[in-house]
Amino acid sequence: MQFEELEKKCKKYYRRKRLKKVFLFLLFTLPLLSLFLPERVGSLLSLSSGVPGKESSSPPPLSSSSSSSSSSLPSQCYLLQLFYAHDTFRHEVERYQKRLEKLGFQNCFISQGKTLSNGTRQLFLYCNMVEERRDLRPAIRLAKYHNLDYLVQKLPCDREKIVRTPERSNPPRRKRGVDPYQQAYQKALDYFYKENYQKAMEWAERANNIDKSKEEAWLLYAQSLYLLGRVEEAIYLLETYLKYRDSSKARKLLKSFSEG
């Protein structure tokens, strides 16, 4: 009789132990399930809101464009982070930004980060925002050539900061209707990103002979001169160009060459 009572107590004990395990299992797995099945499990877990299937509370992208425009522009873009400092060294960051633009990096900008415990704020210097990671390859090659430290980062896309680079993968071979100026400028751009600045100058000059009204070839020729160490010639070229045509990009480039 004593053995039977002991057997009943053991069964009760193990039954309670199993129930306890089941309860703990449900307690830990239901929150995980809510991440994958919010519309079904969310109603079980919305203890405070009372809203079944509550949506994620993450903030929307910084871009204020409508849903129709967001389909053509991704929410996140790729870019290079080339410098990091505190806001007490903002002047140094701005000087470094000018140096990067002289080297050929495009659409560089300074972004503020979080406030640190000592009261200073983080500063990040980014360049070459693009929609696809593969479009960063020319900028990465440029950073490696000049022995610059860099990080590939992702940030919300900004239409004003995106670098619009022409397609370089499988370029068309001479088709009817192709702009000869664009072909020559594309060739110059390819050589420029390969750090072959002499060839870049040759093709930029060809593009300029086709259409002297477009400024891209002038600016690329001047940047190539500057990177070859022919600073005075680069400055003279930009000054000559500005006598005939007003260009904010040319003025900005001339200012950076003169201050450097």
Q: What is the CATH number of the domain that holds 252?
A: 1.25.40.10
Is position 168 within any domain?
A: no
Is position 242 within any domain?
A: yes
pLDDT, tens digit, 9 for 90 and up, residues 101-142: 888 898 999 998 888 888 888 999 999 999 998 889 888 988
Residue that is written with structure tokens 């070459």 in the block? 128
Is position 48 within any domain?
A: no
pLDDT, tens digit, 9 for 90 and up, residues 172-205: 454 556 788 888 999 998 899 888 999 999 999 9
CA 65 centroid distance within chain: 18
Query: Structurally, how many domains does the chain consist of?
Result: 3
Is position 58 within any domain?
A: no
Is position 14 within any domain?
A: yes
CATH number of the domain enclosing 149:
3.30.70.1070
Is position 63 within any domain?
A: no
What is the C-alpha to C-alpha distance for residues 139 and 147, in angstroms, rounded to an integer?
12
Parent domain of 30:
2-41
pLDDT, tens digit, 9 for 90 and up, residues 15-73: 777 777 776 766 666 555 544 444 443 333 333 333 333 433 434 443 434 334 444 77
pLDDT given at position 161: 87
* Whether this model's pTM surpasses 0.75: no
